[in-house]
Structure 1
Amino acid sequence: MGHFVALDDLSVLSLTIIDAADTLGVSTASVRNWIKAGYLVSTDRGCITRDSFDGFIENIAGQEKLIARANKSQKDGHDHGALSSRFRLLVKQEEFDSQRIGDEYQASLSNTYRNQEGVYYTPDWIIERYFADLPADRRALTFCDPCCGSGNFILAALDQGFAPENIFGFDVDPVAVAITRRRILERTGFDSPNIQRADFLKASLQGRPPRFDVIFTNPPWGKKLSKAQKQSYAIQFAAGSSSDTCSLFFCAALSRLQPGGYLGFLLPDAFFNVAAFADARGRALALDIKSLMDFGKPFPGLVTKAKGIVLQNQANRNQPIVCEGLTDTAVRTPASFQQNPKAILNFSCSPQAAAVIAHLYEVEHLTLADHGRFGLGIVTGNNKKYCVASPRAGYLPVYKGADLQPGLLRKPSVFIPTDFSLYHQVAPEELYHAPEKLIYRFISSRLVFHVDTAQSYFLNSVNMLIPAPEFPITGQQLCQLLNSRVMNWLFQSIFETHKVLRADIGVLPIHTKYFEQHEEFDEAAYANFLGIEETIEGDYRIKGRGKGA
């Protein structure tokens, strides 16, 4: 078991509580608790005796319960510099439990640091899945993890038969790099110079960087970069408009991949279904995708879903793609994704559902991206300050998402001051004052629309759509189509989201021709018009095709 090492001069007789907390990388509250528990001895001046502190480091601080308490206390407020210094000293010790220290370091990172750097370490059970698509003989292949952290992917590569001298890793965190190198040394006796403290994005633009046969990683999710940095990297790595750090690392890794090489990334759910990532998805679909995997929510405290992709750096030959959902596995063709709007990788959809989606887009339709104007609800910036539950002089009623039902608007439950200059964001007032507009829930897994003719206002949990004057059906008819079971099935099958985004509504097929044949809207008649039929399970199939078609 490794011990924590004091960083300051051992010749003094005492040290302050602040110095002790900084040295141990914990909060001052934890140090005070250890004084109360008798682990540390305080002086008359409120300091800690050097003898008790040294004894604490030597005999107590490595115990798991204390470290767990310390880690918990520093989750959101620790000094990362002090934490880094402490763990770098630990890595240099002769007696070093690399797995335990790696786990402790991961657990010690504050939420602030994780969010800033996009750091979420990958569970072993996820890592193991990535190697299933590789050829059996891996000894001569080179392996790289561009964001190696404390080395989980790299240790798995060793277990999977990669030679230690053929394994490369990059990370900007010096502690993570040191832990990874030490883990390789312990496992193989090889002190690898190939694990480097470096920014993979920057390194990939310098000189003629080497290429690798296999690149697997969990890139930083939403790492904070300036807009100028994102735009520059997006241009240089041919990422198009996909400038999130996930996309940038994905495209940078493609630039470092050998012809015929394998790339595997663990990515947030948004990469697979949000319009902003469309260009990166397009690059993936141009190549030979082997597998798409859904891992659910594997990161404690993080609500974002995680999904995986493995592809081979060779041209797409429309070979089957293995699609692993949380409960079922299916096989889809690349063409079934390419036909989706924005090349969305909705791989939880069955092949039968994908065929229905393609069919619905083949039926003559219009899209609202070309025939509508969208507006966002009011962002007050401080709902507690401005929102009240009952009418007042100088206040106006506004609606929330909870007030909106399909084709129905409840009485307003919130009132805000009429002075719009108070708020962070307000759409142009002519949109609110439109004689007729469609309003819809923003946070929702289904489409919930209502036709508003009362020039209503609403908060940002509701957004609005005003069809173009030349749009061939009425607002009420459009509302009926959007609220329909067919359109909700289509929306959920393609986007798999809990947010109703303007970009998603804009690409839905609006089958206006239905109302040339029918005066009233009817679910069964609409499905029949489209040439589909609803199944007992609530899905759809193309009429004339059996259940297994």
Structure 2
Amino acid sequence: MRGLNTFNSEQNLTLDLLETKKTLDVNETAKKLSVSTATIRNWVKLGRIKKINTSGKKLLFEEHEVEKLLSDIITGKSDKLTKRRNKKAIKGLNLYADYIEDDGKNILIGSELVKKDSALYTSIHNTLHTDTYPNQDQYPDPYPEKNIRILIATLALKLYLQSAKLPYISLQVFIAQNKNDCISKLLRELLHNIDISQLGTYQNVPTPTFIPYQDFLGFIYISVSSISYRKSTGSYFTPINIVNKLLDSVKASTQFNNGNIIDLCCGTGNFLLASLKRGASIERLYGNDIDEISVSIAKLNLCINGINNINTLNEHIRKVDSLLNRDTRKYDLVIGNPPWGYVYSETEINKLLNSYKTASKKGSESYDLFMELSLNIINQNGLIAYVLPEAILNVKAHQKIRCFIKNTSSIKFVSYIGNPFTGVACPCILIVLKKDGEGSTIGCNIETNNLRFTINKNRDLSEEYWNFDLSDEDVDCLEKLTNVKNGFTLKNQADFALGIVTGANKKYISNTKNPQNEMILKGSNLHKYYFDNSNSYIHFVPNTFQQVAPIEMYRAKEKLIYRFICEAPVFSYDANQTLSLNSANILIPHVTGISMKYILAILNSRTITYWCRKKYNSVKLLRSHIEEIPFPTPSSEEQNTIVKLVDNLLSLENHCTLDKTTLYNEIEEHVMRLYNLNNSEKEIINSFSSQFDSFLK
């Protein structure tokens, strides 16, 4: 018993020591580093982060080690996140030149404030840090919060004096006068009790030109603020051309001209300023935001543009969390760009679960919640005009909000605007909804890169997927393909596998062939029907890699390899047991009586390129997409003809493209005949899909 007690005491001592050192579990570590738990586990496996050795299976990490890693990432000593799409921990300044109109001078001032080689930036550094940091390379960020407040206040006063046609006076002198007017109160609110002796820090910053309704102050604020702060809060500030386009889509409405308007996450007020410019009165304009400085800037912007009633500004523009502190007031129009990707704490998640149908224990997407809130706070027949990621239309995680929209609203306008945000690869849309309970798309105006049209037939708003980049003719054509007579799909009739995930390509992939390694394919090596030999080689030892499919999938007698990311379906035929990385995934169909080469021909056809692009509008080809593709069931004669043409095309692997194109066109004729397409439908498909023929080369 003594031995057991001793063991327990020693174990408790170990646990006490761990507790004293402050440990983090895998979930806490992932959240702190802004990565997934899977990434943390992979880093442990690859030795990139040290775990604490305990007797249990639970992964624990010392907090100070995690914080050191985070510091290394932020300062650039570690590149663990700089090469990843998730860059919430990256620090730095960035000029958001597209945030305001390109007027020349004002954008140049912003450039001088953030570019390290500019005279102004160097001057600010020297003024702030020479006494503490003799070496310029050691200077910290010149714009901590206090400095940002002083800089914005300095510029705000210069703009106000111009707009009011008053002579110049320094910020120090102006604040010392202790006036009780609107601008003075707002400046003091922003400066937040900063000692008056420090207010001259930025007095030599050039004077910007006052341009009515321009959010110059917001432009400076987002440009000198840390990128990491903006991304961690999901704040992506909207370029002025996008603001204008969205508001122009609703400015003729009764809701805009006569109703109450709110931006639930107004930032520095660019949507509010643009609304004022279009005739909305301050009495009908409201804005909320969680960022104190942004709210102060929004009020300053309105004051500079002639709104001088401090009580109205304080009542209408508020620092408040719109999601957690729901307003009892009803509105007629909700505008803006709600935050994306905000990471909620466990306490916040529990509160949200009690208030929102779209909330999830696994983590809720902030813009889904804002959409639900907006639909709850607008009056019947009210409008919502939002900038949103295109993912809201087609990603499974957003099914709940699609269902909520369908049950409450009609869709009035959708514009596909590509990637409008500086440094953010995220296709976006503008969308206008009307809360009328009809779930209709009739009369919805659609804009794409090169098309504008109105939907005249009601669309099926399935929770699974929405795609409005379709004319009514496209919808009819897709429906015909989907409902092909005697058709089949690959669902439950095929095996799928990911390509190899090494976890460290630099370590495992070589560009030199040796007796121990073999060729491995990347997605870029794949073409329709065949693949190029790769210059990448791997020594295939499965248990050393992060993720490997069953070996028999790679070594199958015959298989199809396809690009995971591509503008069009690209499937290559492989009968040589070739390995592939995870940009080149594997499909092995097993449909009774159907040749793999027939499946290959359908998947590579212009007809299915059209079907996939129009239905999913995605550069990722998911397993679920492939499983839904409709295949016509051929007669033996038809199948034999197509398979023979495929064999002929495969034999031309290294021959001229002209011969391949001739065979490809001949295969397409047979495929279109199987789908029973008329000449008009063939023309629609060929005119769209021919742009992707380059993948045949």
Deviates more, 1:508-517 or 1:375-384: 508-517
Q: CA deviation at 1:524?
A: 1.0
Partner of 1:108: 224
Decide whether aligned partners of structure 1 residues 164 and 512 sit closer, same or farther in structure 2, where only a CA change above 3 A counts: same
Q: Is 2:496 the partner of 1:374?
A: yes
Contact 2:335 2:384 in 1 (8 A): yes
1:19-56 deviation line (CA, Å, top 9, x unaligned): xxx9x9979988997369998996799499xxxxxxxx
Deviates more, 1:144-153 or 1:118-127: 118-127
Partner of 1:260: 381
Q: For residues 173-188 of structure 1, what are the structure 2 equivalents within 5 Å?
A: 173-186=291-304, 187-188=306-307
Partner of 1:326: 449
Partner of 2:237: 121
Deviates more, 1:130-139 or 1:353-362: 130-139
Q: For residues 332-347 of structure 1, what are the structure 2 equivalents within 5 Å?
A: 332-333=455-456, 335-336=458-459, 338=461, 342-347=464-469
Partner of 2:683: 535
Contact 1:91 1:182 in 2 (8 A): no
Contact 1:297 1:303 in 2 (8 A): yes
Decide whether aligned partners of structure 1 residues 40 and 231 sit closer, same or farther in structure 2, where only a CA change above 3 A counts: closer
1:456-505 deviation line (CA, Å, top 9, x unaligned): 321111112233x4555232221111011100111122223322222322
RMSD between superposed Cα atoms in Å: 3.9
Structure (1 or 2) with the greater strand fraction:
1
Q: Is 2:521 the partner of 1:399?
A: yes
Deviates more, 1:26-35 or 1:472-481: 26-35
Partner of 2:627: 506
State the alpha-carbon separation in 2 of the partners of residues 108 and 156 from structure 1.
23
Contact 2:143 2:225 in 1 (8 A): no
Partner of 1:383: 505
Q: Is 2:156 the partner of 1:34?
A: no
State the alpha-carbon separation in 2 of the partners of residues 231 and 358 from structure 1.
42
Deviates more, 1:521-530 or 1:508-517: 508-517
Return the TM-score normalized by structure 2.
0.62
Q: For residues 5-16 of structure 1, what are the structure 2 equivalents within 5 Å?
A: none
Q: CA deviation at 1:266?
A: 0.7
State the alpha-carbon separation in 2 of the partners of residues 368 and 236 from structure 1.
41
Q: For residues 61-140 of structure 1, what are the structure 2 equivalents within 5 Å?
A: 81-82=145-146, 84-86=148-150, 90=154, 96=160, 99-131=215-247, 132-133=249-250, 135-136=253-254, 138=256, 140=258
Q: Is 2:404 the partner of 1:249?
A: no
> What secondary structure does 1:223 align onto?
coil
State the alpha-carbon separation in 2 of the partners of residues 45 and 331 from structure 1.
62
State the alpha-carbon separation in 2 of the partners of residues 28 and 540 from structure 1.
47
> What secondary structure does 1:177 align onto?
helix
Q: Is 2:301 the partner of 1:212?
A: no
Contact 1:203 1:209 in 2 (8 A): no
State the alpha-carbon separation in 2 of the partners of residues 44 and 267 from structure 1.
45
State the alpha-carbon separation in 1 of the partners of residues 475 and 253 from structure 2.
30
Contact 2:128 2:142 in 1 (8 A): no
Alignment counterpart, residue 613 of structure 2, candidates 488, 492, 505: 492
Q: CA deviation at 1:226?
A: 6.3
Partner of 1:3: none
Q: CA deviation at 1:530?
A: 1.4
State the alpha-carbon separation in 2 of the partners of residues 41 and 345 from structure 1.
54
Structure (1 or 2) with the greater helix fraction:
2
Partner of 1:525: 670
Q: CA deviation at 1:525?
A: 2.1
The residue type equivalent to 2:241 in the other structure is: W
State the alpha-carbon separation in 2 of the partners of residues 357 and 312 from structure 1.
27
The residue type equivalent to 2:452 in the other structure is: T
Contact 1:447 1:488 in 2 (8 A): yes
Report percent identity of matched pairs.
25
State the alpha-carbon separation in 2 of the partners of residues 293 and 44 from structure 1.
52
Alignment counterpart, residue 433 of structure 2, candidates 287, 298, 311: 311
State the alpha-carbon separation in 1 of the partners of residues 417 and 495 from structure 2.
37
1:233-261 deviation line (CA, Å, top 9, x unaligned): 57853338894333232223222222211
Q: CA deviation at 1:282?
A: 3.9
1:417-438 deviation line (CA, Å, top 9, x unaligned): 3333433332343433444432
Alignment counterpart, residue 159 of structure 1, candidates 277, 285, 296: 277
Decide whether aligned partners of structure 1 residues 147 and 486 sit closer, same or farther in structure 2, where only a CA change above 3 A counts: same
Partner of 2:571: 449
Contact 2:554 2:579 in 1 (8 A): yes
Q: CA deviation at 1:299?
A: 2.5
> What secondary structure does 1:446 align onto?
coil
State the alpha-carbon separation in 2 of the partners of residues 430 and 240 from structure 1.
41
State the alpha-carbon separation in 2 of the partners of residues 517 and 163 from structure 1.
69
Q: For residues 224-303 of structure 1, what are the structure 2 equivalents within 5 Å?
A: 224-225=343-344, 233=352, 236-239=355-358, 243-286=364-407, 287-303=409-425
1:202-237 deviation line (CA, Å, top 9, x unaligned): 224xxx743321111112233344699679857853
The residue type equivalent to 2:262 in the other structure is: C
State the alpha-carbon separation in 1 of the partners of residues 687 and 491 from structure 2.
26
Contact 1:240 1:280 in 2 (8 A): no
Decide whether aligned partners of structure 1 residues 93 and 240 sit closer, same or farther in structure 2, where only a CA change above 3 A counts: closer
Decide whether aligned partners of structure 1 residues 39 and 330 sit closer, same or farther in structure 2, where only a CA change above 3 A counts: same
The residue type equivalent to 2:461 in the other structure is: Q
Q: CA deviation at 1:172?
A: 2.0
